[in-house]
Amino acid sequence: MAPPTRAESFRAEPFHAEPLRPKRRFLRPSVIPGFGLAFGYTLTCLGLIVLLPLAALVTRASGLGLAGIWEVATDPRVASALRVSFGVSLMAALTASVFGFVIAWVLTRYRFPGRKIVDAVVDLPFALPTAVAGIALAALYAPNGLVGAQLARIGIEAAYTPVGIYIAMVFIGLPFAVRTVQPLIAEIDKEIEEASATLGAGRVHTLVRVVLPPLIPAVLTGFALAFARGVGEYGSIIFIAGNLPYVSEIAPLLIVIKLSEYDYGGACAIATLMLGISFLTLLAINLIQAWSRRRFGYV
Amino acid sequence: MSETFAPVAPAEARPASVVTEGRWIRWLLIGIAILFLALFLVLPLLTVFAQAFAKGFAAYLAAFTEADAHAAIRLTLLTAAIAVPFNLVFGIMASWAIAKFEFWGKNLLVTLIDLPFSVSPVVSGLIYVLVFGAQGLLGPWLLAHDIQVIFAVPGIVLATIFVTFPFVARQLIPLMQEQGTAEEEAALTLGASGWHAFRTVTLPNIRWGLLYSVLLCNARAMGEFGAVSVVSGHIRGLTNTLPLHVEILYNEYNFVAAFAVASLLAGLALVTLCVKSLLEWRYADEIAAGARGH
Amino acid sequence: MGLVLPYPTESRRLTMFVKTNETSVAGVAMRKTSLRLREPDWEIPVSETTSRTTGRTRRHAALLGAGLAAALLAPPLACAQTELLNVSYDPTRELYREINAAFSEAWKAKTGETLTVRAAHGGSGSQARTVIDGIPADVVTLGIPSDIDAISRISKKIVPDWRTKLPNQGLPYTSTVVFLVRKGNPKGVKDWGDLVKPDVKVITPNPKTSAGGRWNFLAAWGYAYEREGKDADKANAFVGAVYKNVPVLDTGARGSTVTFAQRGLGDVLPTWENEAYLVFEEFGRDKFDVVVPPTSIYAEPPVALVDVNVDKKGTRKQAEAYLQFLYSDRAQAIFAKHHYRPLNRAAAKPEDLAQLPELKLFKIEDLQGDWDEIQKKNFDNGGLFDQLSKAGR
């Protein structure tokens, strides 16, 4: 306990005898100035830049009514595009999570030459514009490309098939998978592992039963982030996808196509669906983290 | 007696460290990690440069002599020059309100600020078409007043601001929260004005975090493709940003030029990564709340 | 979702607001300041009255904040235009680069005014959409009449009878669809009928977004319609069989060409005649052959003035002159040079005309009726293309 101070002695005065917060009010009083300015500015920007345009989207889509949106969503081509977007993104996020975990583990636990460079490289997809990534991946994985030629030899067509979409999604999702798990691996108390080992558990047993469980929420969060990013991705995918309806057409591209057909209603309906699903993903992340807070006491 | 010691003996016989994997496993995992990163991240980056220089240095340079390329570079710089400071000011304002005060509905506000991250870039562009397009909400009014928003610089800037909206705020909020309000309160009690307290107390505390977030914000602002593509209209020399210019060159069979311009953006990405790593190594705990060394 | 942020924030982000107010300052050791204070709850000294006054100033400040934001956000007023914008379709990039330069030169010589003509290119449908959404186009030069009809119908920016405003229904040039195949034509593609062979992969753009894609679709349909003794059902089935052989459906003709020529996908690329010859020039004649089918479609890429925009911008005179220029001998020669079929063959160089092969061309209007009907029947939602791709999954 800190010794009593001047401020604390104020507390005893009858002036402040009533409960500190008798009623709920919007802002808790503070000596720090600038709330009004900062809050007003924040709200105005948020309203004009984010909320107003998004409201325009939802208004436009709600013009169709729930039945109308459902009709668009169940249109075979739209349904198939949504399936491709979500299905491939799911697989890509899974891959990114597994390899992301290995990369995060290697980067935090092992010392090897060039580790810091490898660590920096992980963030490349954050920094590289998606269009650049798109044409580079297309050049690399096309049948006449460096990697594509090798894959073609073993009978895998990468570019212009869902495999190409998968590759692009792994590319953009990987950093999320690595960066959410990495700090938690660094935080693991090695004494627990030592204790586990001392008590006779083998290394595999220790990893599976002691080390991994607390990391699961972080892995899930990374997975959800990679998934959400993959679902919405456009720039890197269109160059490598092939864009064939029912096979390799992604939902964001279908929005662009609907726009080209002057079908604003259809475009808005797909956009709203995607928005709704990303909200659900956001919610899932929140639930995972809330669960993990209860279960493990941290996020 | 020897039986008592028996269980301990194997433990002592174990490798030096019980908290790591065997040497072979270790190198195998390192190998997998590096191979995976090389295949998925490094190889595409190298491809950009390899293709850019495929026909020699002269062909590479030729890509930058075109007037359209200059216009694209100018527009990209202009867009970033508006979008980044805007988000910088917004980020500081938002994090000041959120981190230094307790108010009702704060969680909601933070979620809303985060929203643009979860919106597909194409949707980000679409919503501005719906508001400012000729068929959109404000379309007739803008038309009547001769204001061009989409298919012009304002629309491109708006779409860029939207996709980079949370960058600075998200970085600063936890940082400012961890630092608490005590230092500012102390300064205020000692007679400093609010602005003075912000400048001399808050700003120095967050400067590296600020720089870091501006760096990432800038990388995204200059590289955004999907959202800008929807609102740009692709007018050569007028509304083409660098990423769109890459696409145009690519579609004109001018692959060397496309990759040359792309290499410019890739170079920017590399610089971003370098500065970012540098900041992380030197100022880890001043960049992010609760940063742990790694 | 704090996606692009570095990990520490990420993992913390949801806990950070859970801290209760009561623990705000107490116990947080302050860093990097000489004032080593350890004060509990600073909230206390703030009396009821101060908080009321700050409430009022806060409201004022909030307004100030809002005003500041609004001022920063106010869109800069559009500056006066002294240039023309030609919104065109995908494969005309090289063509209009030369035409625009020629027109600027001619205009300068005639009036002394310096005029820049800018061009925007993309899939014809996407380009029409940008005009509808308000791109300040002075003229549109699109790939198919129905796209200009759509602009006229939806945005009213082009007069409905735009076809009558210029010679030849607004067609300064026409074109047709030919096949580009790999060198030596290994799959032996000679005519439209060969596109349905099971081992032939066809690369064509999406008819929903690309004019070239629509011409390919209509050409295949027209061929089968004639072959099957004017049986529309059999023609539909034939087109369905062609699209079963399509592995990649790009949004524009350019995308398809890149897929075929640069990425090495597919055996045959039915495409604009001009596009096929351009590939020759860009990629070398040693890699591809052009196959001219015995019959093909009379493709009509029309041009039109965007009336509302030119009146608003005050560029009607220049824009009209630009469109008239397209019918001039000089422009006609440039069309022929770029492998488009000029309206006035006499203006073109003989060697350019020699490059345009003779073949039997049919007009789709003669087979299917007017353009509203053609568009609706084949390409609108639920039209033939939608039915075929649904059936062909």
ipTM value, please give it.
0.85
pLDDT at B20 over 70: yes
- For B222-261, write each residue's pLDDT tens digit: 999 999 999 998 888 889 999 999 998 888 878 899 999 9
Neighbours of chain C (3+ CB pairs under 8 A): A, B
Say whether residue A77 is in contact with chain C using an 8 A CB cutoff.
yes
CA atoms of C82 and B86, how far apart (whole Å): 30
Say whether residue A133 is in contact with chain C using an 8 A CB cutoff.
no
Neighbours of chain A (3+ CB pairs under 8 A): B, C
Question: Which residue in this structure is represented by tokens 């075979």?
Answer: A76
pLDDT at B101 over 50: yes
For residues B131-167, b (16+ Cβ closer than 10 Å) or e, as one string? bbbbbbbbbeebeeeebbbbbbbbbbbbbbbbbbbbb
Q: Which two tokens stand for residue C159?
A: 């007069």
How large is the average pLDDT for residues B166-187? 89
Are A257 and C206 within 8 A, CB to CB? yes
Are B230 and A259 within 8 A, CB to CB? yes
Average pLDDT of chain B, as a whole number: 87
Say whether residue C58 is in contact with chain A using an 8 A CB cutoff.
yes
- pLDDT higher at A197 or C84: C84
- For A216-259, write each residue's pLDDT tens digit: 888 998 999 899 899 999 999 988 887 777 788 899 999 988 88
Residues 189-208 of B with CB under 8 A from C: 190, 201, 205
Residues 6+ apart with CB under 8 A from A168: A133, A134, A137, A233, A236, A237, A240, A241
Specify which of A20-24, A154-158, C104-108 reaches the highest per-range mean pLDDT. C104-108
Tell me how close the Cα of C4 comes to any Cα of chain A, in angstroms: 7
Phi, psi of A21 (to 5 degrees): -125, 85
Closest CA to B144 of C287, C225, C134: C134
Q: How many H helices and E strands in chain C?
A: 17, 11
Of the candidates B134, B167, B251, the beta carbon closest to that of C258 is on B251
* H or E stretch at C64: helix C48-73
pLDDT at C208: 83
Q: Which two tokens stand for residue A263?
A: 């079908």
CA atoms of C148 and A254, how far apart (whole Å): 22
Say whether residue A9 is in contact with chain C using an 8 A CB cutoff.
no
- pLDDT by position in tens, chain C (length 393): 333 333 333 333 333 333 333 333 333 333 333 333 333 333 333 344 444 445 566 666 676 666 666 555 544 433 444 789 999 998 898 899 999 999 999 999 999 889 999 999 988 888 998 999 889 999 999 999 999 999 999 889 999 999 999 999 999 999 999 999 999 999 999 999 999 999 999 999 988 888 999 999 999 999 999 999 999 999 999 999 999 998 878 878 888 888 888 777 899 999 999 999 888 888 878 889 999 999 999 999 999 999 999 998 899 999 999 999 999 999 999 999 999 999 999 999 999 999 898 899 999 999 998 998 999 999 988 899 988 887 765
- Count other C-beta atoms under 10 Å from residue A153's C-beta: 8
Percent of chain B's residues with pLDDT above 90: 53
pLDDT at B213: 92
Of the candidates B102, B114, B291, the beta carbon closest to that of C1 is on B114
Say whether residue B255 is in contact with chain C using an 8 A CB cutoff.
yes
DSSP letters, C260-290, are IIIS---SEEEEEHHHHHHHHHHH-TTSEEE
Residues 6+ apart with CB under 8 A from C117: C83, C84, C85, C86, C96, C100, C103, C104, C322
Interface probe, candidates B170, B177, B214, B272, chain C, greatest C C-beta count within 10 A: B170
On whether the CB atoms of residues C65 and A39 are closer than 8 A, the answer is yes
pLDDT at B281 over 50: yes
pLDDT at A34: 86
CA atoms of B48 and C11, how far apart (whole Å): 33
pLDDT at B118 over 90: no
CA atoms of B94 and B89, how far apart (whole Å): 8
Of the candidates B104, B130, B185, the beta carbon closest to that of A60 is on B130
Interface probe, candidates C263, C381, C385, chain A, greatest A C-beta count within 10 A: C263
Are C389 and A246 within 8 A, CB to CB? yes
pLDDT at A263 over 70: yes
Interface probe, candidates C32, C93, C130, chain B, greatest B C-beta count within 10 A: C130
On whether the CB atoms of residues C150 and C128 are closer than 8 A, the answer is yes
pLDDT at A99 over 90: yes
Tell me how close the Cα of A141 comes to any Cα of chain C, in angstroms: 10
Of the candidates A32, A128, A147, the beta carbon closest to that of B185 is on A32
Of the candidates C1, C73, C264, the beta carbon closest to that of A144 is on C264
Interface probe, candidates C14, C126, C375, chain A, greatest A C-beta count within 10 A: C14
Say whether residue C94 is in contact with chain B using an 8 A CB cutoff.
yes
Say whether residue C109 is in contact with chain A using an 8 A CB cutoff.
no
How large is the average pLDDT for residues A96-122? 93
Q: Which two tokens stand for residue A4?
A: 């009593």
pTM over 0.90: no
pLDDT at B293 over 80: no
Interface probe, candidates C20, C56, C58, chain A, greatest A C-beta count within 10 A: C58
pLDDT at B3 over 80: no
Closest CA to B127 of B165, B179, B99: B165
Of the candidates C28, C87, C132, the beta carbon closest to that of B134 is on C132
Are A232 and B122 within 8 A, CB to CB? yes
Q: List the single residue in C with minimal CA-CA distance to A299.
A: C11
On whether the CB atoms of residues B72 and B242 are closer than 8 A, the answer is yes
pLDDT at B289 over 70: no
CA atoms of B33 and B184, how far apart (whole Å): 45
Of the candidates B26, B129, B135, the beta carbon closest to that of A110 is on B26
Are A37 and C61 within 8 A, CB to CB? yes
Q: List the single residue in B with minimal CA-CA distance to C17.
A: B107
Q: List the single residue in A with minimal CA-CA distance to C64.
A: A37
Q: Supply angle C-alpha C369, C370, C371, rounded to 5.
A: 125
pLDDT at A23 over 80: no
Q: Which amino acid is at B285?
A: D
On whether the CB atoms of residues B243 and B266 are closer than 8 A, the answer is no
